[in-house]
Amino acid sequence: MNFKQLEAFHAFMTTGSTIEAAQRLGASQPAVSRLLSQFEQDLGVALFVRRKGRLHPTNEAEALLPDVQNMIADAESLHRHVNQLRLGGLRRTLIRVQLPSTVAQSVMPDVTEVFLSDFPDVALEILVGTYETSEVAVLGREADLALVRSPPMNSGLNMVLQLATEAVCILPPGHALLKQETISAADLIGEDLVLLGRQRSLRHQIDLVFRQARMMPQIRAEVHSVEMACRLVAQGLGVSIVNGLFAHLCRDMGIECRPFRPKIDYYLGMATLAGQPPHALVPELTRRILEAMSHRAGADAFQVLPPESGDAGVSA
Protein backbone atom coordinates (compact mmCIF):
# COMPACT_ATOMS: atom_id res chain seq x y z
CA MET A 1 0.00 0.00 0.00
CA ASN A 2 1.30 3.45 -0.89
CA PHE A 3 0.10 7.04 -0.76
CA LYS A 4 -0.80 7.24 -4.45
CA GLN A 5 -3.16 4.32 -3.94
CA LEU A 6 -4.78 6.12 -1.01
CA GLU A 7 -5.21 9.26 -3.11
CA ALA A 8 -6.73 7.29 -5.98
CA PHE A 9 -9.11 5.48 -3.61
CA HIS A 10 -10.19 8.73 -1.96
CA ALA A 11 -10.68 10.48 -5.30
CA PHE A 12 -12.78 7.61 -6.64
CA MET A 13 -14.89 7.37 -3.50
CA THR A 14 -15.63 11.10 -3.49
CA THR A 15 -16.34 11.41 -7.23
CA GLY A 16 -17.85 7.99 -7.95
CA SER A 17 -16.01 7.77 -11.26
CA THR A 18 -12.52 6.72 -12.34
CA ILE A 19 -12.65 9.37 -15.07
CA GLU A 20 -13.42 12.19 -12.63
CA ALA A 21 -10.91 10.79 -10.16
CA ALA A 22 -8.26 10.90 -12.88
CA GLN A 23 -9.14 14.51 -13.70
CA ARG A 24 -8.91 15.43 -10.03
CA LEU A 25 -5.51 13.79 -9.66
CA GLY A 26 -4.12 15.00 -12.98
CA ALA A 27 -3.59 11.39 -14.05
CA SER A 28 -4.92 9.09 -16.77
CA GLN A 29 -7.99 6.93 -16.22
CA PRO A 30 -6.04 3.68 -16.76
CA ALA A 31 -3.48 4.79 -14.17
CA VAL A 32 -6.24 5.38 -11.59
CA SER A 33 -7.82 2.00 -12.37
CA ARG A 34 -4.44 0.35 -11.92
CA LEU A 35 -3.87 2.06 -8.57
CA LEU A 36 -7.30 0.96 -7.34
CA SER A 37 -6.64 -2.61 -8.39
CA GLN A 38 -3.26 -2.60 -6.66
CA PHE A 39 -4.80 -1.10 -3.52
CA GLU A 40 -7.45 -3.82 -3.44
CA GLN A 41 -4.84 -6.56 -3.95
CA ASP A 42 -2.49 -5.16 -1.28
CA LEU A 43 -5.28 -5.02 1.30
CA GLY A 44 -6.69 -8.43 0.42
CA VAL A 45 -10.23 -7.12 0.77
CA ALA A 46 -12.87 -6.83 -1.95
CA LEU A 47 -13.33 -3.07 -2.35
CA PHE A 48 -15.10 -2.84 -5.71
CA VAL A 49 -17.63 -4.62 -7.86
CA ARG A 50 -18.23 -3.96 -11.54
CA ARG A 51 -21.82 -3.58 -12.73
CA LYS A 52 -22.80 -2.63 -16.29
CA GLY A 53 -19.25 -1.57 -17.03
CA ARG A 54 -18.97 0.75 -14.02
CA LEU A 55 -16.98 0.32 -10.83
CA HIS A 56 -18.95 0.48 -7.57
CA PRO A 57 -17.59 0.49 -3.98
CA THR A 58 -18.42 -2.36 -1.63
CA ASN A 59 -19.52 -1.97 1.99
CA GLU A 60 -15.92 -2.69 2.97
CA ALA A 61 -14.72 0.25 0.87
CA GLU A 62 -17.26 2.53 2.51
CA ALA A 63 -16.09 1.35 5.94
CA LEU A 64 -12.46 2.10 5.11
CA LEU A 65 -13.11 5.56 3.66
CA PRO A 66 -12.98 7.47 7.00
CA ASP A 67 -9.62 5.88 7.83
CA VAL A 68 -8.23 6.80 4.40
CA GLN A 69 -9.52 10.35 4.77
CA ASN A 70 -7.76 10.64 8.13
CA MET A 71 -4.50 9.29 6.69
CA ILE A 72 -4.60 11.77 3.80
CA ALA A 73 -5.42 14.61 6.20
CA ASP A 74 -2.49 13.61 8.43
CA ALA A 75 -0.16 13.45 5.43
CA GLU A 76 -1.37 16.86 4.29
CA SER A 77 -0.81 18.25 7.77
CA LEU A 78 2.76 16.94 7.69
CA HIS A 79 3.33 18.35 4.20
CA ARG A 80 1.97 21.72 5.26
CA HIS A 81 4.11 21.73 8.39
CA VAL A 82 7.22 20.98 6.33
CA ASN A 83 6.37 23.81 3.94
CA GLN A 84 5.76 26.14 6.84
CA LEU A 85 9.19 25.34 8.25
CA ARG A 86 10.76 25.66 4.81
CA LEU A 87 9.14 28.96 3.91
CA GLY A 88 8.37 30.57 7.22
CA GLY A 89 10.84 29.21 9.73
CA LEU A 90 9.02 29.01 13.05
CA ARG A 91 5.90 30.63 11.62
CA ARG A 92 3.01 28.25 11.99
CA THR A 93 0.67 29.48 9.24
CA LEU A 94 1.29 28.93 5.52
CA ILE A 95 -1.28 30.05 2.95
CA ARG A 96 -0.82 29.07 -0.68
CA VAL A 97 -2.62 30.78 -3.57
CA GLN A 98 -2.38 29.88 -7.27
CA LEU A 99 -3.23 32.45 -9.92
CA PRO A 100 -2.85 33.09 -13.65
CA SER A 101 0.39 34.90 -14.42
CA THR A 102 -1.39 38.14 -15.37
CA VAL A 103 -3.13 38.40 -11.98
CA ALA A 104 -0.10 37.28 -9.98
CA GLN A 105 2.18 39.83 -11.64
CA SER A 106 -0.24 42.75 -11.54
CA VAL A 107 -1.90 42.61 -8.13
CA MET A 108 -0.06 40.25 -5.81
CA PRO A 109 3.05 42.37 -5.03
CA ASP A 110 0.94 45.06 -3.33
CA VAL A 111 -1.49 42.55 -1.80
CA THR A 112 1.37 40.50 -0.39
CA GLU A 113 3.17 43.46 1.14
CA VAL A 114 0.14 44.68 3.08
CA PHE A 115 -1.17 41.20 3.95
CA LEU A 116 2.13 40.06 5.47
CA SER A 117 2.45 43.35 7.33
CA ASP A 118 -1.01 42.90 8.85
CA PHE A 119 -0.44 39.22 9.63
CA PRO A 120 3.25 38.83 10.52
CA ASP A 121 2.82 35.20 11.61
CA VAL A 122 1.79 34.18 8.07
CA ALA A 123 4.00 32.82 5.29
CA LEU A 124 2.44 33.29 1.84
CA GLU A 125 3.32 31.12 -1.15
CA ILE A 126 2.23 32.48 -4.55
CA LEU A 127 1.98 29.91 -7.32
CA VAL A 128 1.39 30.60 -11.02
CA GLY A 129 -0.52 28.25 -13.30
CA THR A 130 -3.33 27.75 -15.79
CA TYR A 131 -6.95 27.33 -14.73
CA GLU A 132 -6.65 23.58 -15.21
CA THR A 133 -3.48 23.18 -13.12
CA SER A 134 -4.94 25.49 -10.49
CA GLU A 135 -7.95 23.19 -10.05
CA VAL A 136 -5.63 20.21 -9.66
CA ALA A 137 -3.50 22.16 -7.15
CA VAL A 138 -6.51 22.83 -4.91
CA LEU A 139 -7.84 19.29 -5.24
CA GLY A 140 -4.39 17.93 -4.47
CA ARG A 141 -4.10 20.24 -1.44
CA GLU A 142 -1.10 22.00 -2.99
CA ALA A 143 -2.96 25.32 -2.93
CA ASP A 144 -5.49 26.68 -0.45
CA LEU A 145 -7.01 29.12 -2.91
CA ALA A 146 -6.96 29.45 -6.70
CA LEU A 147 -8.47 31.51 -9.49
CA VAL A 148 -10.23 29.12 -11.90
CA ARG A 149 -12.83 29.09 -14.64
CA SER A 150 -16.45 28.98 -13.56
CA PRO A 151 -17.96 26.49 -13.54
CA PRO A 152 -14.80 24.47 -12.84
CA MET A 153 -13.94 21.36 -14.84
CA ASN A 154 -13.65 19.16 -11.76
CA SER A 155 -15.99 18.41 -8.90
CA GLY A 156 -14.79 18.88 -5.34
CA LEU A 157 -14.24 22.64 -5.49
CA ASN A 158 -16.09 25.31 -3.53
CA MET A 159 -16.44 28.62 -5.40
CA VAL A 160 -16.12 31.26 -2.69
CA LEU A 161 -16.22 34.13 -5.18
CA GLN A 162 -17.49 34.30 -8.76
CA LEU A 163 -16.78 37.03 -11.30
CA ALA A 164 -18.11 37.88 -14.74
CA THR A 165 -16.32 39.83 -17.44
CA GLU A 166 -16.37 39.90 -21.24
CA ALA A 167 -13.91 39.75 -24.09
CA VAL A 168 -12.40 43.03 -25.23
CA CYS A 169 -10.29 44.05 -28.19
CA ILE A 170 -7.01 45.60 -27.12
CA LEU A 171 -5.23 48.07 -29.39
CA PRO A 172 -2.12 50.28 -29.28
CA PRO A 173 -2.60 54.02 -28.69
CA GLY A 174 -3.52 55.95 -31.83
CA HIS A 175 -5.00 52.98 -33.66
CA ALA A 176 -7.71 53.94 -36.17
CA LEU A 177 -10.25 51.54 -34.63
CA LEU A 178 -10.20 53.46 -31.34
CA LYS A 179 -12.70 55.84 -32.92
CA GLN A 180 -15.32 53.11 -32.60
CA GLU A 181 -17.22 52.33 -29.39
CA THR A 182 -17.18 48.58 -30.11
CA ILE A 183 -15.19 46.34 -32.43
CA SER A 184 -16.48 43.34 -34.38
CA ALA A 185 -14.79 40.57 -36.32
CA ALA A 186 -15.56 42.42 -39.57
CA ASP A 187 -13.61 45.44 -38.29
CA LEU A 188 -10.50 43.27 -38.01
CA ILE A 189 -10.24 42.36 -41.68
CA GLY A 190 -6.65 43.00 -42.70
CA GLU A 191 -5.50 43.57 -39.12
CA ASP A 192 -2.57 41.62 -37.68
CA LEU A 193 -3.80 39.64 -34.67
CA VAL A 194 -2.07 38.48 -31.51
CA LEU A 195 -4.22 35.64 -30.16
CA LEU A 196 -4.10 33.28 -27.22
CA GLY A 197 -3.11 29.68 -27.94
CA ARG A 198 -5.63 27.30 -29.48
CA GLN A 199 -6.02 25.31 -26.25
CA ARG A 200 -7.65 28.27 -24.47
CA SER A 201 -11.45 28.28 -24.18
CA LEU A 202 -11.66 31.96 -25.13
CA ARG A 203 -9.69 31.21 -28.30
CA HIS A 204 -12.25 28.57 -29.26
CA GLN A 205 -15.01 31.16 -28.92
CA ILE A 206 -13.04 33.72 -30.93
CA ASP A 207 -12.39 31.20 -33.71
CA LEU A 208 -16.13 30.44 -33.80
CA VAL A 209 -16.96 34.13 -34.21
CA PHE A 210 -14.56 34.41 -37.15
CA ARG A 211 -15.97 31.27 -38.77
CA GLN A 212 -19.51 32.57 -38.42
CA ALA A 213 -18.39 35.83 -40.04
CA ARG A 214 -16.75 33.76 -42.82
CA MET A 215 -13.39 35.36 -42.06
CA MET A 216 -9.88 33.99 -41.82
CA PRO A 217 -8.05 35.75 -38.97
CA GLN A 218 -4.67 37.20 -39.92
CA ILE A 219 -2.64 35.82 -37.00
CA ARG A 220 0.81 37.28 -36.51
CA ALA A 221 1.60 35.77 -33.10
CA GLU A 222 0.15 33.26 -30.65
CA VAL A 223 0.82 33.71 -26.94
CA HIS A 224 -0.06 31.91 -23.72
CA SER A 225 -0.92 34.74 -21.35
CA VAL A 226 -2.96 37.92 -21.54
CA GLU A 227 0.00 39.83 -20.16
CA MET A 228 2.15 38.81 -23.15
CA ALA A 229 -0.65 39.66 -25.58
CA CYS A 230 -0.87 43.13 -24.04
CA ARG A 231 2.89 43.65 -24.29
CA LEU A 232 2.97 42.71 -27.98
CA VAL A 233 -0.03 44.92 -28.75
CA ALA A 234 1.61 47.83 -26.92
CA GLN A 235 4.65 47.36 -29.17
CA GLY A 236 2.45 47.72 -32.25
CA LEU A 237 2.65 44.10 -33.42
CA GLY A 238 -1.11 43.77 -33.84
CA VAL A 239 -4.39 43.83 -31.94
CA SER A 240 -5.84 41.13 -29.71
CA ILE A 241 -9.05 39.80 -28.17
CA VAL A 242 -8.69 38.84 -24.53
CA ASN A 243 -10.38 38.51 -21.13
CA GLY A 244 -11.58 42.02 -20.27
CA LEU A 245 -10.63 41.88 -16.59
CA PHE A 246 -7.08 40.80 -17.34
CA ALA A 247 -6.75 43.40 -20.10
CA HIS A 248 -7.73 46.17 -17.70
CA LEU A 249 -5.17 44.88 -15.20
CA CYS A 250 -2.54 45.54 -17.89
CA ARG A 251 -3.63 49.02 -18.95
CA ASP A 252 -0.45 50.58 -17.62
CA MET A 253 1.44 48.80 -20.42
CA GLY A 254 0.10 51.34 -22.89
CA ILE A 255 -2.94 49.65 -24.43
CA GLU A 256 -6.52 50.71 -25.09
CA CYS A 257 -9.62 48.52 -24.72
CA ARG A 258 -12.88 48.37 -26.64
CA PRO A 259 -15.75 45.88 -26.13
CA PHE A 260 -15.73 43.07 -28.68
CA ARG A 261 -18.94 42.15 -30.48
CA PRO A 262 -20.69 39.78 -30.57
CA LYS A 263 -20.31 39.73 -26.82
CA ILE A 264 -18.30 36.84 -25.38
CA ASP A 265 -19.02 36.33 -21.68
CA TYR A 266 -16.28 35.05 -19.43
CA TYR A 267 -16.76 33.63 -15.93
CA LEU A 268 -14.14 32.85 -13.32
CA GLY A 269 -13.90 32.57 -9.58
CA MET A 270 -11.83 31.89 -6.49
CA ALA A 271 -12.00 28.26 -5.40
CA THR A 272 -11.15 26.31 -2.26
CA LEU A 273 -11.40 22.61 -1.50
CA ALA A 274 -15.01 21.52 -0.92
CA GLY A 275 -15.87 19.70 2.28
CA GLN A 276 -12.94 21.15 4.18
CA PRO A 277 -13.07 24.58 5.84
CA PRO A 278 -10.21 26.76 4.55
CA HIS A 279 -7.80 28.53 6.87
CA ALA A 280 -9.48 31.43 8.65
CA LEU A 281 -7.38 33.95 6.70
CA VAL A 282 -8.23 32.59 3.24
CA PRO A 283 -11.48 34.63 2.98
CA GLU A 284 -9.54 37.73 4.01
CA LEU A 285 -6.89 37.08 1.36
CA THR A 286 -9.65 36.52 -1.21
CA ARG A 287 -11.26 39.83 -0.28
CA ARG A 288 -7.97 41.68 -0.63
CA ILE A 289 -7.23 40.16 -4.04
CA LEU A 290 -10.71 41.21 -5.17
CA GLU A 291 -10.19 44.75 -3.89
CA ALA A 292 -6.80 44.97 -5.59
CA MET A 293 -8.23 43.81 -8.93
CA SER A 294 -11.08 46.31 -8.64
CA HIS A 295 -8.69 49.15 -7.79
CA ARG A 296 -6.28 48.36 -10.61
CA ALA A 297 -8.71 47.31 -13.34
CA GLY A 298 -11.61 49.58 -12.44
CA ALA A 299 -15.02 48.57 -11.12
CA ASP A 300 -16.48 48.43 -14.65
CA ALA A 301 -14.01 45.73 -15.78
CA PHE A 302 -15.95 42.92 -14.07
CA GLN A 303 -18.95 42.08 -11.94
CA VAL A 304 -19.08 40.11 -8.70
CA LEU A 305 -21.83 37.51 -8.98
CA PRO A 306 -24.09 36.50 -6.08
CA PRO A 307 -22.87 33.31 -4.36
CA GLU A 308 -24.61 30.12 -5.40
CA SER A 309 -26.51 28.09 -2.85
CA GLY A 310 -24.07 26.26 -0.64
CA ASP A 311 -21.09 28.46 -1.51
CA ALA A 312 -19.56 30.73 1.09
CA GLY A 313 -19.52 34.29 -0.19
CA VAL A 314 -16.85 36.94 0.32
CA SER A 315 -17.84 40.49 1.07
CA ALA A 316 -16.27 43.06 -1.22
Predicted local distance difference test score (pLDDT) of residue 310: 47
How would residue 103 be classed by pLDDT, with cut points 50, 70 and 90? very high
Q: Are residues 261 and 275 in the same domain?
A: no
* Residue 174: burial class (beta carbons within 10 Å; 0-12, 13-18, 19+): exposed
In a domain, 74, yes or no: no
In a domain, 307, yes or no: no
Q: Among 16-25, 42-51, 237-246, which stretch is predicted with the lowest mean pLDDT?
A: 16-25
> What is the bridge-based pairing of β-strands 193-196 and 219-223?
parallel
How would residue 308 be classed by pLDDT, with cut points 50, 70 and 90? low
**In terms of pLDDT, which residue wins out, 302 or 29?**
302
CATH of the domain at 12: 1.10.10.10
CA 281, chain centre distance (Å): 19
158 has pLDDT over 90: yes
CATH of the domain at 93: 3.40.190.10
CA 286, chain centre distance (Å): 14
Average pLDDT over residues 154-172: 94
81 has pLDDT over 80: no
Q: Are residues 239 and 169 in the same domain?
A: yes
Domain count for the chain, please give it. 3
Domain around 222: 164-266
Give alpha helix (H) positions in the chain: 3-15, 18-25, 29-43, 59-88, 101-118, 131-139, 201-212, 226-234, 244-249, 282-297
**How long a stretch of residues is the chain?**
316
> What is the bridge-based pairing of β-strands 54-57 and 93-99?
unpaired
Average pLDDT over residues 30-51: 89
In a domain, 130, yes or no: yes
In a domain, 226, yes or no: yes
**In terms of pLDDT, which residue wins out, 292 or 137?**
292
Q: Are residues 56 and 114 in the same domain?
A: no
Summarised one tens digit per residue, pLDDT across range 252-291 is: 999 999 999 999 999 999 999 988 889 899 999 999 999 9
Average pLDDT over residues 306-310: 65
Looking at the chain, the whole-number percentage of residues with pLDDT higher than 90 is 55
Summarised one tens digit per residue, pLDDT across range 192-250 is: 999 998 877 788 899 999 999 999 999 999 998 999 999 999 999 999 999 999 999 99
In the chain the first and final C-alpha atoms are separated, in Å, by: 46
Q: Are residues 272 and 262 in the same domain?
A: no
How would residue 316 be classed by pLDDT, with cut points 50, 70 and 90? very low
Predicted local distance difference test score (pLDDT) of residue 110: 96
Using only C-alpha atoms, the chain has a radius of gyration, in whole angstroms, of 22
Average pLDDT over residues 140-169: 93
Q: What is the pTM of this model?
A: 0.74
Q: Among 10-19, 70-79, 236-245, 299-308, which stretch is predicted with the lowest mean pLDDT?
A: 70-79
Looking at the chain, the whole-number percentage of residues with pLDDT higher than 70 is 93
Q: Are residues 127 and 205 in the same domain?
A: no
Q: Are residues 291 and 157 in the same domain?
A: yes
What φ, ψ does residue 254 adopt, rounded to 5°?
95, 50
Burial 244-276 (b: 16+ CB within 10 A, else e): bbbbbbbbebebbbbbbbeebebebbbbbbeee
How would residue 107 be classed by pLDDT, with cut points 50, 70 and 90? very high
CA distance 297 to 316: 15
> What is the bridge-based pairing of β-strands 122-128 and 93-99?
parallel
76 has pLDDT over 90: no
* 3-state DSSP assignment of residue 98: strand
CA distance 256 to 250: 10
Q: Are residues 159 and 273 in the same domain?
A: yes
